[in-house]
Amino acid sequence: MLNPEIILTHYNPVTGEMHGATMVKRHLSDLRGCFADTAAYESALKAGNPLLYSVGAVEPASGEGDLHYGVGMLMPGKIGGEYFMTKGHLHSWRPAAEFYFGLTGDGVMLLEDEATGESRIVPLKPNGVVYVPGHTAHRTMNVGTTPLTYIGVYPAKAGHDYSTIAKTNFRCVVVERAGQPVMIERNNL
Ligand SMILES: [Fe+2]
């Protein structure tokens, strides 16, 4: 069925908001346990509870072969030396891969192979497309000074597993060193 309401959706490239999409908003208090510097986290939380990011999910159909996508908007900022980040997740259906398209701003994705722990950071910015393979945990960070917006496209049946990351966190952190994002093993901080 070529339903025009399903075929075309408009998003706001500045706010990431979309007409009719389910918006999830995450504030600083929702990211407890994500940042390595817990003292800096608690101190920032005492000063306020800002919006860190929002994701609007477009899920037009959920049959075999269907695709879903989300428009993300991540604010700039840091806690300790770490950039504002998303919680990060694996897909519940582990083989599910995902494409991320940078729209605005200056971001980095942290990828971690679930089986081997191999980690890598990849730029996420306009005119760049990141392919996140299956079985790979992924987290987005804003390393710039303006809101980062992006689109992630994934199989409808991918699902989101946040709890595995919530338990163990990523093996590596991404911090600013001399103005540049650098990946460091959490144990070596
Ligand atoms: Fe994903």
Percent of the chain with pLDDT over 90: 85
Q: Length of the chain in residues, anyone?
A: 189
For the record, the structure tokens of 48 come out as: 């306020």
Lowest mean pLDDT among 16-20, 23-27, 82-86, 111-115: 16-20
| Alpha carbon of 46 to ligand 1 centroid (Å) | 31
Distance between CA 13 and CA 35 in Å, rounded?
27
Could you tell me which residues come within 8 angstroms of residue 154 by beta carbon, excluding any fewer than 6 positions away? 67, 68, 69, 91, 96, 97, 98, 99
| Alpha carbon of 139 to ligand 1 centroid (Å) | 8
Percent of the chain with pLDDT over 70: 100
The residue whose two tokens read 């971690």 is 112
| Alpha carbon of 153 to ligand 1 centroid (Å) | 8
For residue 66, pLDDT beyond 90: yes
Q: Pick from 79, 47, 88: which is nearest to 172 by CA?
A: 88
| Alpha carbon of 154 to ligand 1 centroid (Å) | 7
Per-residue pLDDT, averaged over 137-148, amounts to 98
Per-residue b or e along 94-109, where b marks 16 or more CB atoms closer than 10 Å to that residue's CB: eebebebbbbbbbbbb
Distance between CA 156 and CA 23 in Å, rounded?
17
For the record, the structure tokens of 75 come out as: 């604010």
3-state secondary structure of 42: helix
| Alpha carbon of 119 to ligand 1 centroid (Å) | 16
| Alpha carbon of 111 to ligand 1 centroid (Å) | 11
pLDDT at residue 12, rounded to an integer: 86
Confidence of residue 38 (pLDDT cuts 50, 70, 90): very high
Per-residue pLDDT, averaged over 76-105, amounts to 97
| Alpha carbon of 148 to ligand 1 centroid (Å) | 17
Confidence of residue 76 (pLDDT cuts 50, 70, 90): very high
Measured at the CA of 141, the angle between CA 135 and CA 142, to 5 degrees, comes to 155
pLDDT at residue 18, rounded to an integer: 84
Please state the pTM of the whole predicted model: 0.95
pLDDT at residue 5, rounded to an integer: 78
